[in-house]
C-alpha cells in the first residue's frame, strides 16, 4: 500500500486512489456525531444557495469561513449538535456545508476511486476500512485552515491514520499538546468569538468514539456521506 500525504485545496485536487479528507475542526467531527444521534442521511453540499433551497426540508448545518450562515439551522459546531440531542436528529436528513472539509471532499470525488471523511473521532474505523479494502494507493489530505494554511490537528490526525495503517507508533498526548498550543485551538479556547465555542475542541480531539467510517458517494446531483465499516469493503 502506497500512502501519499497531501494538504489543503491543492492536496484535494491532487488526490488519487482511496482519498481520506481530514477536517478535525470541525466538519468531520460533526458528521459522525450527527449519525450517532440518529440522522438518517447526511448530504455534503458546498453551494450555499443549493443548501437554502432545502430550507425546511432538511436540517441545514454549516459555516462559511467559520461564520454562521443566515437561514441555516445550526452552525458547524459539535457541541451545539451534541446539545440538540437525539430527538432533534433522529430519522432526519441533514445537508452540511463547510469551507474546508465538505468542499475538499467534493473536489476529491472528481478524480479519486473513493473518498473517505475522517477526523480523530472515527480515525481507527477509517483505517480499519482501508486495511480491509487493501487499496494500492491511499491519499491522506489534511484540509487545514480554510483549505489555505496547514492546521496541526489535521496533519496530526493524518499521522494517526498513517500510523494505524503502517502499524507504527503514535503519541496522542504529544499531539493534543501541540494542537492546543496552536491558534487553531486557541481561537476556540479564548472564547472571544461567540460562534467558536470553547467546548468544540474537547469533542474534536477525542479518539475513536465511533465504530464506523464515512464514504462520500454521488447520489444523483447530491453527495451522500454514507456510514461504512471494515465489514463492508468496496
In angstroms, rounded to a whole number, what is the distance separating the alpha carbons of residues 93 and 112? 26
Q: In sequence order, which residues have a C-beta less than 8 Å from that of residue 45 and are 6 or more positions away? A: 51, 95, 96, 97, 102, 222, 223
Per-residue pLDDT of the chain (234 residues; tens, 9 = 90+): 999 999 999 999 999 999 999 999 999 999 999 999 999 999 999 999 999 999 999 999 999 999 999 999 999 999 999 999 999 999 999 999 999 999 999 999 999 999 999 999 999 999 999 999 999 999 999 999 999 999 999 999 999 999 999 999 999 999 999 999 999 999 999 999 999 999 999 999 999 999 999 999 999 999 999 999 877 777
| Separation CA 215–CA 39 (nearest Å) | 15
Output the pLDDT for position 115: 98
In the DSSP assignment, the letter for residue 226 is E
DSSP state of 149: B
Contact indicator for 27, 189 with CB cutoff of 8 Å: no
Is this prediction's pTM over 0.95?
yes
Beta strand 222-228 pairing with 41-44: antiparallel
The count of other CB atoms within 10 Å of the CB of residue 227 is 21
Give CA–CA dist 96/214, Å, rounded. 14
Asked whether the beta carbons of 76 and 98 are under 8 A apart, the reply is: yes
Angle at the Cα of 170 (from 137 to 151), degrees rounded to 5?
75
Q: Which CATH code of 1.10.3470.10, 3.90.1560.10, 3.40.1160.10, 3.90.650.10 fits the domain covering 2-228?
A: 3.90.1560.10
CA distance 59 to 89: 8
d(CA 91, CA 113): 30
| Residue appearing with cell numbers 472539509 | 101
In the chain, where are the structural domains located?
Answer: 2-228
Amino acid at each position: 500500500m502506497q500512502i501519499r500525504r497531501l494538504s489543503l485545496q491543492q492536496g484535494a485536487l491532487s488526490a488519487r486512489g482511496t482519498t481520506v479528507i481530514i477536517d478535525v475542526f470541525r466538519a468531520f467531527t460533526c458528521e459522525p456525531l450527527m449519525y450517532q444521534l440518529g440522522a438518517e442521511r447526511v448530504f455534503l453540499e458546498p453551494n450555499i444557495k443549493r443548501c437554502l433551497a432545502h430550507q425546511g426540508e432538511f436540517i441545514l448545518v454549516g459555516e462559511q469561513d467559520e461564520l454562521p450562515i443566515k437561514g441555516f439551522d445550526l452552525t458547524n459546531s459539535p457541541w451545539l449538535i451534541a446539545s440538540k440531542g437525539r430527538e432533534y436528529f433522529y430519522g432526519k436528513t441533514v445537508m452540511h456545508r463547510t469551507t474546508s472539509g465538505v468542499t475538499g471532499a467534493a473536489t476529491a470525488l472528481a478524480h479519486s476511486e473513493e473518498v473517505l471523511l475522517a477526523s480523530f473521532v472515527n480515525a481507527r474505523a477509517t483505517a480499519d476500512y482501508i486495511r480491509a479494502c487493501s487499496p494500492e494507493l491511499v491519499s491522506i489530505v489534511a484540509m487545514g485552515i480554510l483549505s489555505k494554511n496547514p492546521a496541526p490537528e489535521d496533519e496530526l490526525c493524518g499521522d494517526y491514520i498513517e500510523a494505524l495503517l503502517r502499524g507504527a507508533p503514535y503519541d496522542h498526548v504529544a499531539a493534543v499538546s501541540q494542537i492546543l498550543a496552536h491558534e487553531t485551538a486557541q481561537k476556540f479556547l479564548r472564547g472571544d468569538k461567540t460562534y467558536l465555542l470553547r467546548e468544540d475542541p474537547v469533542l474534536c480531539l477525542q479518539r475513536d468514539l465511533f465504530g464506523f467510517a464515512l464514504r462520500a458517494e454521488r447520489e444523483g446531483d447530491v453527495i451522500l456521506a454514507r456510514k461504512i465499516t471494515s465489514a463492508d469493503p468496496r
